[in-house]
Structure 1
Protein backbone atom coordinates (compact mmCIF):
# COMPACT_ATOMS: atom_id res chain seq x y z
CA UNK A 1 0.00 0.00 0.00
CA UNK A 2 2.76 2.43 0.95
CA UNK A 3 4.70 1.70 -2.25
CA UNK A 4 1.52 2.27 -4.31
CA UNK A 5 1.00 5.62 -2.59
CA UNK A 6 4.60 6.66 -3.27
CA UNK A 7 4.32 5.67 -6.93
CA UNK A 8 1.09 7.65 -7.29
CA UNK A 9 2.69 10.66 -5.62
CA UNK A 10 5.75 10.49 -7.89
CA UNK A 11 3.49 10.22 -10.92
CA UNK A 12 1.61 13.31 -9.73
CA UNK A 13 4.87 15.23 -9.15
CA UNK A 14 6.14 14.21 -12.60
CA UNK A 15 2.94 15.51 -14.21
CA UNK A 16 3.33 18.80 -12.33
CA UNK A 17 6.88 19.22 -13.63
CA UNK A 18 5.77 18.33 -17.15
CA UNK A 19 3.07 21.01 -17.04
CA UNK A 20 4.66 23.77 -14.94
CA UNK A 21 8.42 23.14 -14.94
CA UNK A 22 10.55 24.79 -12.28
CA UNK A 23 7.55 26.74 -10.94
CA UNK A 24 6.42 23.55 -9.20
CA UNK A 25 9.48 23.62 -6.97
CA UNK A 26 9.35 27.34 -6.18
CA UNK A 27 5.65 27.62 -5.33
CA UNK A 28 5.46 24.15 -3.78
CA UNK A 29 8.24 24.86 -1.27
CA UNK A 30 6.96 28.38 -0.60
CA UNK A 31 3.48 27.05 0.22
CA UNK A 32 4.91 24.17 2.26
CA UNK A 33 6.56 26.63 4.63
CA UNK A 34 3.35 28.60 4.97
CA UNK A 35 2.16 25.15 6.19
CA UNK A 36 0.21 23.88 3.18
CA UNK A 37 0.70 20.09 2.91
CA UNK A 38 3.25 19.55 0.13
CA UNK A 39 5.90 16.79 -0.16
CA UNK A 40 8.83 19.19 -0.45
CA UNK A 41 11.67 16.77 0.25
CA UNK A 42 10.26 14.09 -2.07
CA UNK A 43 9.72 16.67 -4.80
CA UNK A 44 13.31 17.93 -4.49
CA UNK A 45 14.77 14.42 -4.59
CA UNK A 46 12.67 13.56 -7.64
CA UNK A 47 13.64 16.85 -9.30
CA UNK A 48 17.27 15.92 -8.66
CA UNK A 49 16.62 12.61 -10.40
CA UNK A 50 15.13 14.47 -13.38
CA UNK A 51 18.36 16.48 -13.56
CA UNK A 52 20.25 13.16 -13.49
CA UNK A 53 18.33 12.13 -16.61
CA UNK A 54 19.09 15.47 -18.25
CA UNK A 55 15.53 16.79 -18.25
CA UNK A 56 16.21 19.58 -15.74
CA UNK A 57 19.27 21.69 -14.90
CA UNK A 58 20.67 21.00 -11.42
CA UNK A 59 22.00 24.51 -10.73
CA UNK A 60 18.67 26.05 -11.74
CA UNK A 61 16.91 23.62 -9.40
CA UNK A 62 19.14 24.71 -6.51
CA UNK A 63 18.45 28.40 -7.17
CA UNK A 64 14.68 27.88 -7.55
CA UNK A 65 14.38 25.61 -4.50
CA UNK A 66 16.47 27.99 -2.38
CA UNK A 67 14.35 30.96 -3.50
CA UNK A 68 11.06 29.17 -2.73
CA UNK A 69 12.26 27.98 0.67
CA UNK A 70 13.65 31.32 1.80
CA UNK A 71 10.59 33.18 0.50
CA UNK A 72 8.30 30.88 2.49
CA UNK A 73 10.42 31.16 5.63
CA UNK A 74 10.60 34.95 5.35
CA UNK A 75 6.82 35.26 4.93
CA UNK A 76 6.19 33.15 8.04
CA UNK A 77 8.75 35.17 10.01
CA UNK A 78 6.97 38.44 9.25
CA UNK A 79 3.55 36.92 9.95
CA UNK A 80 4.82 35.90 13.38
CA UNK A 81 6.53 39.27 13.92
CA UNK A 82 3.65 41.52 12.83
CA UNK A 83 0.61 39.46 13.85
CA UNK A 84 2.11 37.97 17.00
CA UNK A 85 1.06 35.12 19.25
CA UNK A 86 -2.67 36.04 19.53
CA UNK A 87 -3.06 35.72 15.74
CA UNK A 88 -1.32 32.33 15.70
CA UNK A 89 -3.43 31.08 18.61
CA UNK A 90 -6.64 32.20 16.92
CA UNK A 91 -5.99 31.36 13.27
CA UNK A 92 -3.10 28.90 13.44
CA UNK A 93 -5.39 25.92 12.86
CA UNK A 94 -6.07 27.17 9.33
CA UNK A 95 -2.42 26.66 8.38
CA UNK A 96 -1.88 23.59 10.59
CA UNK A 97 -0.13 25.49 13.41
CA UNK A 98 -2.02 24.08 16.39
CA UNK A 99 -1.31 25.02 20.05
CA UNK A 100 0.35 21.60 20.49
CA UNK A 101 2.76 22.29 17.61
CA UNK A 102 3.45 25.77 18.97
CA UNK A 103 4.38 24.24 22.32
CA UNK A 104 6.52 21.60 20.60
CA UNK A 105 8.39 24.27 18.61
CA UNK A 106 8.91 26.30 21.78
CA UNK A 107 10.48 23.29 23.53
CA UNK A 108 12.83 22.77 20.60
CA UNK A 109 13.80 26.46 20.69
CA UNK A 110 14.52 26.24 24.41
CA UNK A 111 16.76 23.24 23.72
CA UNK A 112 18.71 24.48 20.68
CA UNK A 113 18.19 28.25 20.58
CA UNK A 114 18.43 30.07 17.24
CA UNK A 115 20.39 27.13 15.79
CA UNK A 116 17.05 25.30 15.60
CA UNK A 117 16.16 27.45 12.58
CA UNK A 118 18.98 25.76 10.65
CA UNK A 119 18.59 22.19 11.88
CA UNK A 120 14.79 22.46 11.94
CA UNK A 121 14.71 21.78 8.20
CA UNK A 122 15.68 18.20 9.01
CA UNK A 123 13.17 17.69 11.85
CA UNK A 124 9.72 16.49 10.66
CA UNK A 125 6.89 18.64 11.97
CA UNK A 126 9.22 21.43 13.10
CA UNK A 127 10.65 23.15 10.01
CA UNK A 128 7.24 24.52 9.00
CA UNK A 129 6.88 26.50 12.23
CA UNK A 130 10.35 27.82 13.10
CA UNK A 131 9.80 30.92 10.94
CA UNK A 132 6.55 31.78 12.71
CA UNK A 133 8.10 31.25 16.14
CA UNK A 134 11.23 33.28 15.31
CA UNK A 135 8.92 36.16 14.38
CA UNK A 136 6.78 35.75 17.50
CA UNK A 137 9.83 36.07 19.78
CA UNK A 138 11.05 39.02 17.65
CA UNK A 139 14.38 37.43 16.78
CA UNK A 140 16.45 40.09 14.92
CA UNK A 141 15.96 39.61 11.17
CA UNK A 142 19.69 39.47 10.42
CA UNK A 143 20.12 36.64 12.90
CA UNK A 144 17.04 34.87 11.55
CA UNK A 145 18.24 35.24 7.95
CA UNK A 146 21.70 33.90 8.81
CA UNK A 147 20.31 30.67 10.24
CA UNK A 148 17.27 30.34 7.95
CA UNK A 149 19.01 31.00 4.64
CA UNK A 150 22.15 29.05 5.54
CA UNK A 151 20.09 26.04 6.61
CA UNK A 152 17.90 26.33 3.51
CA UNK A 153 20.90 26.15 1.18
CA UNK A 154 22.20 22.99 2.86
CA UNK A 155 18.73 21.43 2.91
CA UNK A 156 17.93 21.97 -0.78
CA UNK A 157 21.39 20.90 -2.00
CA UNK A 158 21.25 17.69 0.04
CA UNK A 159 17.81 16.58 -1.11
CA UNK A 160 18.28 17.63 -4.72
CA UNK A 161 21.68 15.93 -4.56
CA UNK A 162 20.12 12.60 -3.56
CA UNK A 163 18.33 12.36 -6.89
CA UNK A 164 21.22 13.81 -8.86
CA UNK A 165 23.94 11.58 -7.39
CA UNK A 166 22.10 8.28 -6.90
CA UNK A 167 19.93 8.37 -10.01
CA UNK A 168 17.54 5.38 -10.28
CA UNK A 169 18.43 4.27 -6.73
CA UNK A 170 17.39 7.61 -5.20
CA UNK A 171 14.20 6.29 -3.54
CA UNK A 172 16.05 3.86 -1.26
CA UNK A 173 18.67 6.44 -0.28
CA UNK A 174 15.94 9.04 0.22
CA UNK A 175 14.09 6.77 2.66
CA UNK A 176 17.25 6.22 4.73
CA UNK A 177 18.17 9.90 4.64
CA UNK A 178 14.65 10.90 5.68
CA UNK A 179 14.93 8.67 8.75
CA UNK A 180 18.41 9.77 9.80
CA UNK A 181 18.75 13.23 8.23
CA UNK A 182 19.21 15.10 11.51
CA UNK A 183 21.94 12.72 12.68
CA UNK A 184 23.70 12.76 9.32
CA UNK A 185 23.70 16.56 9.15
CA UNK A 186 24.71 16.92 12.81
CA UNK A 187 27.58 14.48 12.27
CA UNK A 188 28.71 16.29 9.13
CA UNK A 189 28.54 19.66 10.92
CA UNK A 190 30.53 18.30 13.88
CA UNK A 191 33.13 16.87 11.49
CA UNK A 192 33.39 20.21 9.66
CA UNK A 193 33.89 22.07 12.95
CA UNK A 194 36.54 19.55 14.01
CA UNK A 195 38.41 19.97 10.72
CA UNK A 196 38.32 23.77 11.06
CA UNK A 197 39.59 23.58 14.65
CA UNK A 198 42.43 21.22 13.71
CA UNK A 199 43.41 23.44 10.80
CA UNK A 200 43.25 26.57 12.98
CA UNK A 201 45.38 24.88 15.62
CA UNK A 202 48.02 23.98 13.01
CA UNK A 203 48.08 27.55 11.68
CA UNK A 204 48.38 28.90 15.22
CA UNK A 205 51.22 26.46 15.99
CA UNK A 206 53.12 27.51 12.85
CA UNK A 207 52.74 31.19 13.76
CA UNK A 208 54.00 30.55 17.29
CA UNK A 209 57.01 28.62 15.98
CA UNK A 210 57.81 31.41 13.52
CA UNK A 211 57.62 34.04 16.21
CA UNK A 212 59.74 32.10 18.72
CA UNK A 213 63.14 32.98 17.15
CA UNK A 214 62.08 36.63 16.88
CA UNK A 215 61.10 36.69 20.55
CA UNK A 216 64.39 35.09 21.56
CA UNK A 217 66.33 37.65 19.52
CA UNK A 218 64.40 40.55 21.07
CA UNK A 219 65.02 39.14 24.55
CA UNK A 220 68.76 38.85 23.91
CA UNK A 221 68.92 42.41 22.55
CA UNK A 222 67.15 43.71 25.64
CA UNK A 223 69.54 41.83 27.92
CA UNK A 224 72.53 43.19 25.97
CA UNK A 225 71.26 46.76 26.20
CA UNK A 226 70.76 46.39 29.96
CA UNK A 227 74.33 45.13 30.43
CA UNK A 228 75.63 48.22 28.63
Structure 2
Protein backbone atom coordinates (compact mmCIF):
# COMPACT_ATOMS: atom_id res chain seq x y z
CA UNK A 1 0.00 0.00 0.00
CA UNK A 2 1.31 3.44 -0.91
CA UNK A 3 1.56 5.52 2.28
CA UNK A 4 2.30 8.92 0.69
CA UNK A 5 -0.23 11.52 1.83
CA UNK A 6 0.13 13.55 -1.36
CA UNK A 7 -0.53 10.42 -3.42
CA UNK A 8 -3.78 9.67 -1.57
CA UNK A 9 -4.97 13.28 -1.74
CA UNK A 10 -4.18 13.76 -5.43
CA UNK A 11 -5.43 10.34 -6.60
CA UNK A 12 -8.48 9.83 -4.38
CA UNK A 13 -9.51 13.35 -3.36
CA UNK A 14 -12.11 13.50 -0.60
CA UNK A 15 -12.17 9.70 -0.27
CA UNK A 16 -8.39 9.72 0.24
CA UNK A 17 -8.70 12.34 3.00
CA UNK A 18 -11.53 10.34 4.61
CA UNK A 19 -9.52 7.11 4.44
CA UNK A 20 -6.32 8.61 5.88
CA UNK A 21 -8.14 10.16 8.82
CA UNK A 22 -10.12 6.97 9.40
CA UNK A 23 -7.15 4.60 9.61
CA UNK A 24 -4.88 7.08 11.40
CA UNK A 25 -7.23 6.88 14.38
CA UNK A 26 -6.86 3.11 14.41
CA UNK A 27 -3.09 3.47 14.83
CA UNK A 28 -1.82 3.31 11.22
CA UNK A 29 1.02 5.87 11.06
CA UNK A 30 -0.43 8.39 8.63
CA UNK A 31 0.34 12.06 9.47
CA UNK A 32 -3.17 13.44 9.97
CA UNK A 33 -2.21 17.08 10.54
CA UNK A 34 -0.06 17.02 7.41
CA UNK A 35 -3.00 15.56 5.50
CA UNK A 36 -5.26 18.37 6.68
CA UNK A 37 -2.71 21.11 5.95
CA UNK A 38 -2.04 19.69 2.45
CA UNK A 39 -5.81 19.44 1.90
CA UNK A 40 -6.09 23.10 2.88
CA UNK A 41 -3.41 23.97 0.34
CA UNK A 42 -5.30 21.97 -2.31
CA UNK A 43 -8.44 23.88 -1.31
CA UNK A 44 -6.52 27.09 -2.13
CA UNK A 45 -5.74 25.70 -5.60
CA UNK A 46 -9.39 24.82 -6.20
CA UNK A 47 -8.92 21.04 -6.01
CA UNK A 48 -11.22 20.89 -2.96
CA UNK A 49 -14.29 22.81 -1.84
CA UNK A 50 -14.46 23.62 1.85
CA UNK A 51 -17.74 21.96 2.85
CA UNK A 52 -17.10 18.54 1.25
CA UNK A 53 -13.54 18.63 2.61
CA UNK A 54 -14.85 19.42 6.10
CA UNK A 55 -17.39 16.58 5.87
CA UNK A 56 -14.91 14.00 4.49
CA UNK A 57 -12.17 14.80 7.01
CA UNK A 58 -14.49 15.06 10.01
CA UNK A 59 -16.37 11.86 9.18
CA UNK A 60 -13.10 9.98 8.61
CA UNK A 61 -11.87 11.03 12.02
CA UNK A 62 -15.22 10.42 13.73
CA UNK A 63 -15.66 6.94 12.20
CA UNK A 64 -12.06 5.99 13.05
CA UNK A 65 -12.47 7.19 16.63
CA UNK A 66 -15.79 5.38 16.96
CA UNK A 67 -14.23 2.12 15.70
CA UNK A 68 -11.36 2.52 18.19
CA UNK A 69 -13.90 3.22 20.97
CA UNK A 70 -15.74 0.02 20.01
CA UNK A 71 -12.52 -2.02 20.07
CA UNK A 72 -11.71 -0.67 23.53
CA UNK A 73 -15.25 -1.17 24.80
CA UNK A 74 -15.91 -4.67 23.47
CA UNK A 75 -12.44 -6.23 23.34
CA UNK A 76 -10.88 -4.52 26.35
CA UNK A 77 -7.42 -3.62 27.53
CA UNK A 78 -5.47 -6.81 26.60
CA UNK A 79 -6.35 -6.52 22.88
CA UNK A 80 -5.78 -2.76 22.87
CA UNK A 81 -2.37 -3.26 24.50
CA UNK A 82 -1.42 -5.62 21.67
CA UNK A 83 -2.44 -2.97 19.13
CA UNK A 84 -0.55 -0.32 21.13
CA UNK A 85 2.66 -2.37 21.10
CA UNK A 86 2.23 -3.03 17.38
CA UNK A 87 2.16 0.73 16.65
CA UNK A 88 5.01 1.51 19.07
CA UNK A 89 3.13 2.76 22.15
CA UNK A 90 5.00 1.63 25.25
CA UNK A 91 3.42 0.47 28.53
CA UNK A 92 4.62 3.58 30.43
CA UNK A 93 2.99 5.96 27.95
CA UNK A 94 -0.21 3.91 28.07
CA UNK A 95 -0.27 3.94 31.91
CA UNK A 96 0.27 7.72 31.97
CA UNK A 97 -2.52 8.20 29.40
CA UNK A 98 -4.87 6.03 31.50
CA UNK A 99 -4.19 8.11 34.61
CA UNK A 100 -4.80 11.39 32.80
CA UNK A 101 -7.94 10.06 31.14
CA UNK A 102 -9.41 8.85 34.45
CA UNK A 103 -9.15 12.40 35.85
CA UNK A 104 -10.13 14.52 32.84
CA UNK A 105 -12.28 12.35 30.54
CA UNK A 106 -14.32 15.01 28.73
CA UNK A 107 -11.42 17.44 28.53
CA UNK A 108 -9.13 14.75 27.07
CA UNK A 109 -11.68 13.74 24.42
CA UNK A 110 -12.27 17.38 23.46
CA UNK A 111 -8.63 18.46 23.25
CA UNK A 112 -6.72 15.20 22.72
CA UNK A 113 -6.98 15.46 18.93
CA UNK A 114 -4.55 18.36 18.97
CA UNK A 115 -1.79 16.12 20.43
CA UNK A 116 -0.59 13.60 17.86
CA UNK A 117 0.44 10.73 20.14
CA UNK A 118 -2.55 11.13 22.43
CA UNK A 119 -5.16 11.40 19.66
CA UNK A 120 -4.83 7.72 18.77
CA UNK A 121 -5.06 6.54 22.40
CA UNK A 122 -8.08 8.57 23.52
CA UNK A 123 -10.91 6.64 21.80
CA UNK A 124 -9.47 3.30 22.92
CA UNK A 125 -9.24 4.61 26.49
CA UNK A 126 -12.79 5.97 26.31
CA UNK A 127 -14.03 2.51 25.33
CA UNK A 128 -11.98 0.65 27.93
CA UNK A 129 -13.07 3.06 30.67
CA UNK A 130 -16.73 2.66 29.60
CA UNK A 131 -17.27 6.35 28.91
CA UNK A 132 -20.95 6.68 27.88
CA UNK A 133 -21.15 6.35 24.10
CA UNK A 134 -23.38 9.40 23.56
CA UNK A 135 -21.07 11.60 25.66
CA UNK A 136 -18.02 10.31 23.81
CA UNK A 137 -19.72 10.78 20.43
CA UNK A 138 -20.75 14.36 21.17
CA UNK A 139 -17.33 15.41 22.48
CA UNK A 140 -15.58 13.51 19.71
CA UNK A 141 -17.66 15.14 16.95
CA UNK A 142 -17.12 18.66 18.33
CA UNK A 143 -13.40 18.00 18.68
CA UNK A 144 -13.15 16.56 15.15
CA UNK A 145 -14.89 19.57 13.58
CA UNK A 146 -12.71 22.10 15.43
CA UNK A 147 -9.52 20.15 14.69
CA UNK A 148 -10.31 19.75 10.98
CA UNK A 149 -11.28 23.43 10.56
CA UNK A 150 -8.11 24.55 12.39
CA UNK A 151 -5.66 22.53 10.28
CA UNK A 152 -7.36 22.92 6.89
CA UNK A 153 -7.58 26.68 7.50
CA UNK A 154 -3.90 26.69 8.40
CA UNK A 155 -3.22 24.92 5.10
CA UNK A 156 -5.37 27.42 3.22
CA UNK A 157 -3.44 30.36 4.67
CA UNK A 158 -0.15 28.59 3.94
CA UNK A 159 -1.30 27.99 0.35
CA UNK A 160 -2.36 31.61 -0.12
CA UNK A 161 0.91 32.87 1.41
CA UNK A 162 2.97 30.50 -0.77
CA UNK A 163 1.07 31.49 -3.88
CA UNK A 164 1.70 35.17 -3.19
CA UNK A 165 5.34 34.59 -2.18
CA UNK A 166 5.97 32.40 -5.21
CA UNK A 167 4.44 34.96 -7.59
CA UNK A 168 6.46 37.82 -6.04
CA UNK A 169 9.65 35.75 -6.13
CA UNK A 170 9.03 34.73 -9.71
CA UNK A 171 8.42 38.33 -10.71
CA UNK A 172 11.34 39.91 -8.87
CA UNK A 173 13.91 37.12 -8.49
CA UNK A 174 15.86 37.68 -11.74
CA UNK A 175 15.93 41.51 -11.49
CA UNK A 176 16.82 41.20 -7.80
CA UNK A 177 19.73 38.83 -8.53
CA UNK A 178 21.00 41.13 -11.30
CA UNK A 179 20.83 44.15 -8.98
CA UNK A 180 22.63 42.19 -6.25
CA UNK A 181 25.36 41.09 -8.69
CA UNK A 182 25.83 44.71 -9.84
CA UNK A 183 26.09 45.93 -6.23
CA UNK A 184 28.63 43.22 -5.35
CA UNK A 185 30.69 44.06 -8.46
CA UNK A 186 30.63 47.78 -7.58
CA UNK A 187 31.64 47.02 -3.98
CA UNK A 188 34.56 44.84 -5.12
CA UNK A 189 35.69 47.44 -7.68
CA UNK A 190 35.52 50.29 -5.13
CA UNK A 191 37.37 48.26 -2.53
CA UNK A 192 40.18 47.46 -4.99
CA UNK A 193 40.41 51.10 -6.02
CA UNK A 194 40.53 52.21 -2.38
CA UNK A 195 43.38 49.76 -1.66
CA UNK A 196 45.39 50.94 -4.68
CA UNK A 197 45.03 54.60 -3.76
Shorter-chain TM-score: what band?
Answer: 0.7 to 0.9
Structure 1 residue 148, shift from structure 2 partner? 0.8
Match of 1:122 in 2: 114
Matched, 1:162 2:154: yes
The C-alpha deviation readout for 1:101-147, integer Å capped at 9, x for no partner, is 32121132144232100100112310101000000011110111111
The C-alpha deviation readout for 1:178-226, integer Å capped at 9, x for no partner, is xxxxxxxxxxxxxxxxxxxxxxxxxxxxxxxxxxxxxxxxxxxxxxxxx
Structure 1 residue 91, shift from structure 2 partner? 4.3
Q: Give the Cα–Cα distance (whole angstroms) in 1 for the partners of residues 40 and 50 of structure 2.
A: 7
Q: Tell me how many residue pairs correspond in the alignment.
A: 160
Query: 1:55 aligns to what SS in structure 2?
Result: coil
Of the structure 1 ranges 114-123 and 67-76, higher mean CA displacement relative to structure 2 is found in 114-123
Match of 2:143 in 1: 151
Structure 1 residue 165, shift from structure 2 partner? 3.2
Q: Give the Cα–Cα distance (whole angstroms) in 1 for the partners of residues 73 and 24 of structure 2.
A: 19
Match of 1:135 in 2: 127
Query: 1:89 aligns to what SS in structure 2?
Result: helix
Distance 1:124 1:16, change over 3 A: closer
Match of 1:16 in 2: 8
Contact 1:88–1:97, Cα closer than 8 Å, also in 2: no
Find the partner of 2:32 among 36, 40, 46: 40
TM-score by length of 2: 0.75
Match of 2:75 in 1: 83
Matched, 1:69 2:79: no
Which runs of 5 or more residues in structure 1 are unaligned?
A: 1-8, 171-228
Of the structure 1 ranges 30-39 and 15-24, higher mean CA displacement relative to structure 2 is found in 15-24
Contact 2:26–2:67, Cα closer than 8 Å, also in 1: yes
Find the partner of 1:26 among 1, 9, 18: 18
Structure 1 residue 14, shift from structure 2 partner? 3.0
Q: Give the Cα–Cα distance (whole angstroms) in 2 for the partners of residues 157 and 117 of structure 1.
A: 17
Query: 2:29 aligns to what SS in structure 1?
Result: coil
Contact 1:35–1:97, Cα closer than 8 Å, also in 2: no
Matched, 1:106 2:61: no
